[in-house]
Each structure stands twice: as C-alpha cells, then as structure tokens.
C-alpha cells in the first residue's frame, strides 16, 4: 500500500477549480490507478470526498467515503444527478480546496445518481443524508461551483480573513497545500 500515488491539492482560487470538467472516455488501468491516488490523497488530507479538479485534472471523477470504512468507498465516474429530493437540510461543509474554512450549506437530503465505476460498469442508485450531501458537494466541483458560491453572506464575512489569506498565498505562489486539519 505504500506505493499509492498521492496528488497535490488544488486550492482556491486556482482557476482550474472554475472550469467545467470533461467526461472520462477511457476506462481501464490508468483510470483505476488515478482513482486509487485520489482515495490516498483524500484519506491523507482527512477528507470525506474529492473531485478530480481538486487534484489538477479536469475529469468527471469523484470519490467519497462517508464513514471511513473500506466498504463505504464510492467512485462515481461521469456522474449525473437525475433527481434531488427530500427536505432541505443545513450542514456545515468543509472542502479540501478551502483548508480551515467551513460554511453552512442548504441542500436537498436525497439524490438519485447515474454514473460508472472505475471499470466502466454502470451504477444507478439513490443516496441520502451525509453520503448524498458529499455527492452533491463533489458534483458541484465538476461544474466549477465552489463552497464559496454556496456560502451565506454571513458565512462569507465570517470566513473573510481565511479566504483573503488563500487568495494572497495563491498570488504569492505559495499555496497552503496539503495542510491537514
């Protein structure tokens, strides 16, 4: 397990995070290795979800694990959210591209998703609760939508110093990368 690739995190406000990701066209060993590297990066950073643009790749791939148990690891390639439903819930979300920043985001509790796994096998499933929330957050990344876009004005103000610091570090070319929290 020591040979797993780990990637550098792409941090806000890197413009790559704003680009729409492209569909995966080729399934196979290379994609599976990439997915393993995404999991390794996510785990090392103590995250519960990660989208490919967050490791510098404009691909429609996301990984998540809501519990940390191996059996709950989930890979969604070329995901589509077919339906969002259920009560709107508020949750304090974090994001590996925004180290140290949290903000309450409102999202519907459930979603129905169509996607492929890393080998190209189709998946269609319903998710709810924390898992559904992570999927919706990571899916946003594939569209170039970020935590900062979902923040209330109050949360933006509360996080202003931390956001400004990220911008400052990016401009200075010394991103606060791989800082675990």
- Residues belonging to the active site: 138
Which residue's CB is nearer to Co ion, number 13 or number 27? 13
For Co ion, give the closer residue by CB, 83 or 149.
Answer: 149
What is the enclosing helix (H) or strand (E) of 11?
none
Residue nearest to Co ion (CB): 95
The CA distance from 174 to 106, in Å, is 32
What gap in Å lies between CA 69 and CA 16, rounded to an integer? 31
If the CB atoms of residues 52 and 95 are measured against Co ion, the closer one turns out to be 95
Residues 6+ apart with CB under 8 A from 98: 11, 12, 146, 147, 148, 162, 163, 166
- Spatial separation of the C-alpha atoms in residues 6 and 101, rounded to whole Å: 23
Least gap, CB of 2 to Co ion (angstroms) = 27
Token couple for 176: 């606060």
Residue ranges in contact with Co ion by CB under 5 A: 95
């Amino acid at each position: 397990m020591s040979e797993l690739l780990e990637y550098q995190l792409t941090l806000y406000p890197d413009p790559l995070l704003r680009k729409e990701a492209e569909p995966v066209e080729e399934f196979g060993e290379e994609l599976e290795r990439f997915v393993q590297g995404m999991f390794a990066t996510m785990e090392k950073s103590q995250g519960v979800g990660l989208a490919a643009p967050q490791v510098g790749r404009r691909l429609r791939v996301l990984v998540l694990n809501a519990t940390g148990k191996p059996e709950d690891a989930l890979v969604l390639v070329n995901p589509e959210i077919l339906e969002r439903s259920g009560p709107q819930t508020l949750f304090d979300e974090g994001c590996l591209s925004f180290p140290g920043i949290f903000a309450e985001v409102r999202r519907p509790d459930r979603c129905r998703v169509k996607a492929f796994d890393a080998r190209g096998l189709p998946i269609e499933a319903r998710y709810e609760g924390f898992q559904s929330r992570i999927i919706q957050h990571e899916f946003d990344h594939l569209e170039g939508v970020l935590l900062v876009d979902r923040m209330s004005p109050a949360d933006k103000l509360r996080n202003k110093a931390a956001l400004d610091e990220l911008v400052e570090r990016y401009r200075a070319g010394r991103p606060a990368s791989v800082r675990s929290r």
